[in-house]
Amino acid sequence: MKVFKFGGASVKDAGGIKNVYDVLQKVGHDDVLLVISAMGKTTNALEVVVKDYFDKSAGLQSSVQEVKKYHNQILMDLFEEENHAVFAAVNKIFTDMEQFLRQNKSPNYNFVYDQVVSYGEIISTTIVSHYFNYRGLKNQWIDVRELVKTDNTYRDAVVNWELTQKNISKNVKKKNLNITQGFLGSDENNFTTTLGREGSDYTAAIFAYCLNAESVTIWKDVPGVLNADPRYFDNAILLHQISYREAIELAFYGATVIHPKTLQPLQRKEIPLYVKSFLNPLLPGTCVSKGADLEPQTPCFIVKKNQLLVSLSSLDFSFIMEENISEIFALLHKYRMKVHLIQNSAISFSVCADDKFGNFHALKALLSKKFKVTYNENVSLYTIRHFNDKSAGTVTKNKEVLVRQVSRETMQIVTRDLQ
């Protein structure tokens, strides 16, 4: 079996869904499992719904209507008969979501987030499955929440591999075209969980691992894995082949083309990962596979925007030692700060981190009891793998360098724009 993952950009409108159908006609669809994300920017739109819900905003109904209107237009563009069963199916999903918003009693933001945002994937796969059947391409729609079981760490759930393996082996029919949702799972109480933003790639890897798949292909609007994000760098170069090790390094540092968790299960079973263009599906793209000789021969640039640079120094000029660092990291973990760079001296300790959950100011209040805390918001972290003398100047032009750190293969630079 092959596993294909199509992200939100590939199914953002009726034309995109028709193109996914065409891609399958060109590359084959027998014995394939499709993992599909929410359509376009639906996840963002549902995040607005969650925000309005907690703000008790009068705009809640309007934000729900925006999501409905967007999907209804796609339905109208795909299906000629307005009495087609898909309209009732999608309407039922929205009814379920609105009922949850009316009846929920939990004050837990992360719990509510997962219950609401998950409807994006449920709707998208419902529409795609109905459309494929409409075009004569028979398929099995699978509710991923019944198969991928996790703990209850909402918004960043941890997979129960043993139970998930059992469920997937039992319920996914080979030789068929199967369609399921990315990003989602459920906990022991069957409440929906999510695997972290962009977690659909990880879902594809979970299924591939459990099914001993032949390969995984991530279909994107780029020709493959590039040595730099073309949104921020000119003249990006396609990397035709890279090793699991290099891809894991790139993903760890923030390369957005592959989700960081995706590669580990694939590497364990040596399942190759392809990154290909859904606009040109017959091009070879990038292959990620086993091999120490597949290292890129050119610098690879990764940028993470909107980061937080936090520097701690001792109040009495005493050394910051192992026990202090241990305590700091325990707090960073507790407040769910994702750390991307660490630098320390005798009396100071700095981290560049992602405040994904908006916990920094609560963390700062605690840290300030023992340390002098200084910080810079909205900084950029550049990582250069296989750097050379020229590459650093590419990212520091017209910027103030706050931190520079160099190891054998990797250079990291924290910058902010000059005023």
Where residue 133 sits, what CATH number does that domain have?
3.40.1160.10
- The verdict on residue 163 lying in a domain is yes
Same domain assignment for residues 144 and 14:
yes
79: in domain: yes
Q: Is residue 250 part of a domain?
A: no
Provide the CATH number for the domain around residue 403. 3.30.2130.10
| SS3 of residue 46 by DSSP | helix
Which is nearest to 164 in space by CA: 151, 181, 147? 147
CB of 89 closer than 8 Å to CB of 26: no
CA 367/CA 164 separation, integer angstroms = 39
Same domain, 178 and 322: no
Q: Are residues 35 and 179 in the same domain?
A: yes
Is 102 flagged in the annotation as binding? no
Asked if residue 127 is part of any domain, the answer here is yes
The secondary element (H helix, E strand) that includes residue 248 is: helix 244-253
Answer with the one of 201, 220, 239 that is the final residue of a domain.
220
162 labelled binding-site residue: no
pLDDT recorded at residue 294: 62
Residue 127 Cα distances to 15, 52, 148, 393, 411, angstroms: 13, 26, 21, 47, 45
Q: Which of 164, 196, 220 is the last residue of a domain?
A: 220
**Residue matched to tokens 């957005």:** 256
Residue 295 lies in a domain: no
Domain identity same for 195 and 310: no
> Where in the sequence is the domain holding 68, given as residue range(s)?
2-220
> Do both 80 and 188 map to the same domain?
yes
For residue 256, what pLDDT is reported? Answer: 73
User: Are 411 and 314 in the same domain?
Assistant: yes
| 373 class by beta-carbon count within 10 Å (0-12 exposed, 13-18 middle, 19+ buried) | middle
| Same domain flag for 65 and 197 | yes
The total of structural domains in the chain comes to 2
Q: Is residue 354 part of a domain?
A: yes
Nearest in space to 227 (alpha carbons), one of 69, 120, 34, 384: 384
Do residues 57 and 198 share a domain? yes
Position 226 in a domain: no
Residues 175 and 57 in one domain: yes
Is residue 308 domain-shared with residue 206, that is, in the same domain?
no
Instruction: Check whether residue 188 and residue 64 sit in a common domain.
Output: yes
Give a yes or no: residue 27 inside a domain: yes
Residue 158 sits in the same domain as residue 41: yes
Which helix (H) or strand (E) is 405 found in, with range?
strand 399-406
Which residue, of 203, 220, 237, is where some domain finishes?
A: 220
Per-residue model confidence (pLDDT) at position 348:
87
What is the Cα–Cα distance from 24 to 137, expressed in whole angstroms?
10
Distance CA 174, CA 156 (A): 29
Instruction: Report pLDDT for 72.
Output: 97
Instruction: Provide φ and ψ at 47, rounded to 5°.
Output: -65, -35
Tell me the pLDDT of the chain (419 aa) as tens digits. Answer: 999 999 999 999 999 999 999 999 999 999 999 999 999 999 999 999 999 999 999 999 999 999 999 999 999 999 999 899 999 999 999 999 999 999 999 999 999 999 999 999 999 999 999 999 999 999 999 999 999 999 999 999 999 999 999 999 999 988 999 999 999 999 999 999 999 867 899 999 999 999 999 999 999 998 999 999 888 888 899 999 999 988 888 888 887 777 768 999 999 999 999 999 999 999 999 999 987 566 677 899 999 999 999 999 988 878 888 888 899 999 999 999 999 999 988 888 999 999 988 999 999 999 999 899 999 999 999 999 999 888 888 899 889 999 999 998 899 999 998 87
pLDDT of amino acid 20: 98
